[in-house]
Chain A
């Protein structure tokens, strides 16, 4: 066994600032990302709370807020979407858990580029501050939605409130965020390819590592395009260019002095990023859930290779389907057909994942930890949220459904809730490794059941009101007599949302309480798991493996191996049935 230090290893810092603030340790950076995501998710959830209050009781006057104006509603909606998609769904599952556990699971001492890693977090942090600043500038936060369709987002204050400084800050923030994500993606790809320990072949990596690796490739391709699109939009707004603004526009009685741009160009660039972004949010969840599911099922993943190929196929197809967001946009109806068939094809690897998860449970001995509850809940939500995509993927069926609540239901379940269930599974699972204490399982289970039932109660009815023709992004229904009957459904969804949001306070309490007072994790491997993170102390030391290079002898999910002493056979244990003198391959 080699005792030389890893590439990328560095001495433990001593000062507080180097240790906890500008740290280059992937574990500290992972926790920083998770802390940022938790802050962001509570901000985003608070914004949705205000929206749901308004939708349930449109004439309600809130203390310190008064009656909500349409532009305030649209600003809340834009910021809710942006904060959730970027600062929660993109940061925690990939940069948070991935940063912490990718190096450990592949047996490395750190990420390949620790300084780049630190920079990518602090860029993300600055980006978040810039995004929040949009609330406080003149005109307030932008009202153009998280998709920022041009020319609404390109014309400035003349097109509406929040479209001046607020919109500019929004774009600057996302450009910084894109830069941070590119740095992170490079780091993840290099780390996975170069820093795997002896015996850790690609096909022995835990599925979580595969998910982070594939997600990083998507992020590299997607965020590069978002960065370019953002810069072009900024130039249109402030440098007089016309990439996205065509000639002949009259806005608020002013003739707009631009010509030659194309509004559809923005949509193509945005969705070329935006659709892979959905997979950037959900793939890490898939990986974490596969990992947790196998561990608590006490059974190997059903079809490990199929799971890897399915994630690869989802990512590859996912790069070629952005046009399904644009069926009714004025794009050529011929290309809609190609985008549609490619999108329907994504249902195939998604179904493979689902069947393999159920196959993993078949013949299992399920242990119902809170982490496992969330993993099981993820499978259910993934099925529900995924299937509604098959309607929207067909351009003709999309005609009545596009831009209605049916879409809102679909993407919240598949991209938002499923990804968040993946994060919760990861949190309850890895918390004892990260902090040396358990999260309280009793509170965790109450949290799970309230959340699981709550999210279905919030988002299932959205399908139905979408069918009825309820457009999304409406601060007020009074103009449409056809929507008046749907008001009670809004009330129902709002009440469900209040309960679900309340349940998240339980989670926050559990987090804080368990950090300080939680039951100590004495064993290195409390869940009787098989992968490398369970071979080192909790919390792990600065260089993870104390300068030793772990050696891996088998695949990641060897449970219930016949003839083995335990029902789990960790990756690092030397082969017992092979010649003992040549433990490594």
Chain B
């Protein structure tokens, strides 16, 4: 061997691996354990179940991570060429192969099966859940804004036409107000819902693929051109949350944000009355006289 410089410093290299891998494993465990960075608190039952499955996965992967990294560090330190004699002559061990193959198969696939219950509920795949009287809302993505529509007292959305889209008038979805069902539709630039009441959203997009993402709901669903998608969630805590676009949709993607307001029933009634002011130019119906709203952002 004419290359002798592979051995000096071998002790140093082995200790280097030990230090790096110990720092890596313990800092990782610390950050996950202390939850230095973590999901924002979930405001849905489903979200808590997603979190629980995340934590189960964290335990399994954490264990494998800890044991593998430290086993690697240990073997590197223990079996350097400074050891006397030759390496052990061995081509493996079939029993061990079978044991760890079976073990990981049970662990990983078992974890996968455990994850399906929450998924099934998220998409309401099981027997129809008793979503009594859901609040119905239509969500429309459009470069680079979110728009919302409520069907009004009749519970039916009016028809839409692309030619009727007029951003300057606030008719972002192109609602055809000649349609009787459209007369009471309410178009808004923020999503307000009632706490503890199921919400049924139909997700649409007028142009490219977006993704409707609310962290606290543990809800993320792409809006697919030509494919309206209907899903449910039930928020359990009042507050204002951020609706994000999670799918790259063009140069203004990072600005595509709206508010989700989870309100008490009384607050919601008030909010809905305020929307009438903005609907007046579109529907021609004068709003009932109320005090001027303060918090409504101009769309």
Contacts and interface: CB of A to CB of B under 8 A. Distances in A.
Given A344-B112, A368-B7, A302 B220 contact: no
B251 A74 contact: yes
B101 interface: yes
Question: Interface residues of A toward B: which range?
Answer: 35 or more
Contacts of B123: 333
Interface in A359-412: 359, 361-369, 372-373, 376, 379-380, 383-384, 387-388, 390-391, 393-397, 399-400, 402-404
B192 to A, nearest CB: 19
Interface in A291-317: 296-304, 306
A35 interface: no
A65 interface: no
A394 B90 contact: no
Given A300-B89, A397-B53, A474 B101 contact: no
A347 interface: yes
A343, A363, A480: which has the most chain B beta carbons within 10 Å?
Answer: A363
Nearest to A401: B54
B255 A479 contact: yes
Interface string B252-271: 11111100000000000000
Given A302-B92, A368-B14, A523 B31 contact: no
A384 B32 CA distance: 14
A346 B276 CA distance: 55
Contacts of B14: 366, 368
Given A246-B227, A255-B162, A298-B81, A399 B65 contact: no
11 contacts: A74-B253, A160-B143, A248-B226, A251-B206, A330-B221, A355-B100, A358-B72, A365-B83, A366-B10, A400-B218, A467-B37
A452 B73 CA distance: 14
A164 to B, nearest CB: 13
A149 B93 contact: no
B117 to A, nearest CB: 8
B39 A400 contact: yes
Interface in A153-193: 155, 159-161
Interface stretch (A213-221, A233-241, A268-276, A555-563): A555-563
Contacts of A159: 143, 207-208, 250
Interface in A485-527: 486, 489, 519, 521-523, 526-527
Given A363-B87, A366-B10, A330 B244 contact: no
B138 to A, nearest CB: 15
A352 B36 contact: no
A151 interface: yes
Contacts of A336: 119
Nearest to B241: A482
B142 to A, nearest CB: 8
A453 B16 CA distance: 10
B175 to A, nearest CB: 13
A562 B89 contact: yes
Contacts of A559: 86-87, 89
Contacts of A348: 101, 104-105, 108-109
Contacts of A61: none
B205 to A, nearest CB: 8
A376 B17 contact: yes
A149 B211 contact: no
A379 B72 contact: yes
B28 A149 contact: no
A522 B227 CA distance: 67
B208 A297 contact: no
Interface in B60-102: 60-61, 64-65, 68-69, 71-72, 75-76, 79-81, 83, 85-94, 96-97, 100-101
A103 B250 CA distance: 46
A333 B13 CA distance: 49
Nearest to A366: B80
Contacts of B213: 403, 471
A453 B57 CA distance: 26
Contact of B96 (A71, A144, A359, A481): A359
Given A249-B206, A394-B112, A476 B6 contact: no
B86 to A, nearest CB: 4
Interface in A420-466: 432, 438, 441-442, 445, 449, 452-453, 456, 460, 464-465
Nearest to A356: B92
B119 to A, nearest CB: 4
B125 A334 contact: yes
A341 interface: yes
A232 interface: no
A149 B248 contact: yes
B240 to A, nearest CB: 10
Contact of A452 (B20, B162, B218): B20
A567 B211 contact: no
A255, A304, A369, A465: which has the most chain B beta carbons within 10 Å?
Answer: A369
Contact of A567 (B75, B86, B221): B86
A474 B1 contact: no
Contacts of A160: 143, 250-251
A262 B81 CA distance: 59
Contacts of B177: none
Contacts of A297: 79, 87
A354 B101 CA distance: 11
Given A303-B91, A376-B17, A523-B2, A468 B10 contact: no
Given A387-B64, A441-B5, A328 B211 contact: yes
B160 to A, nearest CB: 9
A70 interface: yes
A380 B21 contact: yes
Contact of B104 (A161, A303, A351, A445): A351
B4 to A, nearest CB: 10
B171 interface: no
B119 A366 contact: no
Contact of B69 (A329, A380, A396): A380
A290 interface: no
B165 interface: yes
B247 A390 contact: no
Nearest to A391: B57
A246 to B, nearest CB: 3
A344 to B, nearest CB: 4
B109 A345 contact: yes
A263 B9 contact: no
Interface in A533-581: 559-562, 567
Contacts of B16: 449
A363 B89 CA distance: 9
B286 interface: no
B118 interface: yes
B277 interface: no
A469 B40 contact: yes
Closest 4 A/B residue pairs (Cβ)? A246-B226, A363-B88, A303-B92, A464-B37
Nearest to B63: A387
B100 A328 contact: no
A13 interface: no
A40 interface: no
A108 interface: no
Nearest to B61: A387
A523 B91 CA distance: 28
Contact of B111 (A298, A394, A467): A394
